[in-house]
Amino acid sequence: MAKNESSKIVLDVAYQPQVRTNMDTKRIMLNVMLALLPSLLAATYEFGFKPVLMVIVSMCSAVFYEWAYRRLLKKNSTIFDFSACLTGMLVAMTLPTSAPWWLPLIGNFFAIVIVKQLYGGLGKNFVNPALASRAFLIASYAGIMTTWAPPRAMGVDAVTMATPMSYLYTGQPMPEYFSYGNMFLGIMPGCFGEACKLALLLGGLYLIIRKIISWRIPVSYIGTVAILTFAFGHEGYDNFSWMMYNILSGALILAAFFMATDYATSPVTMPGQLLYGVGCGALTVLIRYFGSYPEGVTYSILIMNICTWAIDKAFRRHQFGVTKEDIAAEKAAKKAAKEAAK
């Protein structure tokens, strides 16, 4: 290159590092949606094309709200990080199949505008938008949100039927057709995204392998629910089947992998994530035993979302080179200083 040519080139200057990983926000969101796809496919198999339609309507509305809000407030557009898309998908997947098509429009307005954007957008919201919107919809449209259509494979000729969750909540014995196998494969009524446990586990496993979520939250969450329900049991059930029904019914698996692990609203410290999972599990069981709604999962995660900041503060780790002895010495010095002040 000629000298006068090289002097014309304007060079970029940046602090290190000059290279970055390929996994960016957009890819993370797309990967989570990919992980939800098996569950959506299973729902399509069980309930027909209504779930797909609902997801599409929901995603479009979520993206529209995100775009419109940022546009009206003259902020930079964030629709291409696909986080609104994902929120829309999750909002739809926690609805019953029989819900009307316009319900996601309301749910997404609450999720995107009120919960997410009013607090500053992606990463700034303090509760999970999809779950908050679900809580909002349950309070506002209790009838719609608790009407469940039976899946095709059950072969029942009925418009609505009770979910395993309602049997658990009332403590009635579980009907025979809710076998472990059927519940695992999603042959049961319920929100269409939470039905097929197999598909959800596949998706969750994929996210853990891709290191998009850590194993800590789902394992500690589901583990706590399993241990507590097994330990306390319930009248009319043996402890093991009570535990299995508790794990397999409701939105537990979906929420443990896809809702509780939401970055913005879960702890970032490693022991904090474990405690958060245990907290979610304990609250879920408490609400299922004593609550006035059978909505343990939704409310437990929302409550733990609020505790996230405090949990992160409590589990500060020590920097490299600080040993246990150093910490003990520091504590002793502080104590001595306090006593000297007295």
Partner 1 sequence: MTHTFKRGVHPNYMKAPEIPISVVTPPPQVIIPMAQHIGAPDKPLVAVGDYVKMGQKIGENPAPVSAPVHSSVSGKVVAVEPRPHPLGDMIMSVVIENDYQDTPCEDLQPLTEQELKDPEAILTRIREAGVVGMGGAMFPTAFKIRGGIGKVDKLVINGAECEPYLNGDHLTMLNFPEQLLKGIELVRIASGVEKAYYGIEVNKKDAIDLLNSLHPEKYGIEIVPEKVKYPQGAEKMQVKAVTGREVKPGEIPSGVGANVVSTRTCYAVYQACYEGKPVIERIVTVAGSAMNQTANALTRVGTPLGYLAEQCGGFAVTPRKIVLGGPMMGICATSFDAPTIKGTAGVLFFTEKEDKTVENPSCIRCGKCITVCPMNLEPVFMYLYYSKGDFDMMQKYHITDCFECGSCSFNCPARMPLTHAFKTAKLMFQAKAAKEKAAAEAAAAKEAK
Nearest to 189 by CA among 224, 158, 223: 158
d(CA 239, CA 231): 7
**Shortest separation between residue 25's beta carbon and partner 1, angstroms:** 5
Residue 240 sits in the site that holds partner 1 (CB under 8 A) = no
User: CA angle, corner 87, sides to 81 and 91, nearest 5?
Assistant: 165
* Contacting residues for 269 by C-beta, under 8 A, at least 6 apart: 311, 312, 315, 316, 317
Interaction pattern, residues 310-339, with partner 1; x per rule: CB under 8 A: --x---xxxxxxxx--x-------------
Degrees, nearest 5: CA angle 39-78-218: 35
Nearer to partner 1, 152 or 317 (CB): 317
Binds partner 1 by CB under 8 A, chosen from 12, 157, 235, 339: 12
Stretch that binds partner 1, among 102-110, 219-227, 265-273, 288-296 (CB under 8 A): 265-273
Please identify, among the stretches 96-104, 191-199, 224-232, 264-272, the one whose residues bind partner 1 according to the rule CB under 8 A: 264-272
In angstroms, the CA 158 to CA 90 distance is 27
The structure tokens listed for 171 are: 């403590």
Q: Is the peptide bond before 100 cis (omega within 30 degrees of 0)?
A: no
Query: Taking the alpha carbons of 266, 269, 270, 274 in that order, is the dihedral positive or negative?
Result: negative
The minimum distance between CB 132 and partner 1, in angstroms, equals 17
Interface with partner 1 in residues 196-225 (CB under 8 A): 214
d(CA 147, CA 170): 16
123: region left, alpha or beta (phi > 0 left; psi from -120 to 50 alpha)? left
Phi, psi of 221, rounded to the nearest 5 degrees: -65, -60
Contact track, partner 1, 92-131, x by CB under 8 A: -----------------------------xxx--------
DSSP state of 183: H
Which of the ranges 18-26, 52-60, 171-179, 293-301 carries the binding residues for partner 1, by CB under 8 A? 18-26
- The residue among 133 and 261 lying less far from partner 1, judged by its C-beta, is 261
- By the rule CB under 8 A, 11 interacts with partner 1: yes
Q: Which amino acid is at 55?
A: V
Indicate whether 263 belongs to the interface with partner 1 (CB under 8 A): yes
Evaluate the CA torsion angle 63, 67, 70, 76 in order and state its sign: positive
Q: Which is nearer to partner 1, 97 or 117 (CB)?
A: 117
The reply on whether position 292 binds partner 1 by CB under 8 A is: no
Instruction: Select from 4, 18, 170, 292 the one that contacts partner 1 (CB under 8 A).
Output: 18
State the CB neighbour count (10 A cutoff) for residue 331: 10
Under the binding rule (CB under 8 A), the answer on residue 152 touching partner 1 is no
Question: 4, 21, 170, 292: which one contacts partner 1 (CB under 8 A)?
Answer: 21
**Residue closer to partner 1 (CB basis): 268 or 332:** 268
Per CB under 8 A, does 16 bind partner 1? yes
When binding is defined by CB under 8 A, the residue of 34, 159, 231, 268 that contacts partner 1 is 268
HSE at residue 85, side-chain half, CA atoms within 13 A, is 16
By CB under 8 A, the residues from 37 to 76 that bind partner 1 are: 76
Q: CA 103 to CA 165: how far, in whole Å?
A: 22
Residues lying near partner 1 in the complex (CB under 8 A) = 1, 3, 6-7, 9, 11-21, 23-25, 27-28, 76, 78, 81, 83, 121-123, 214, 263-264, 267-270, 312, 316-323, 326
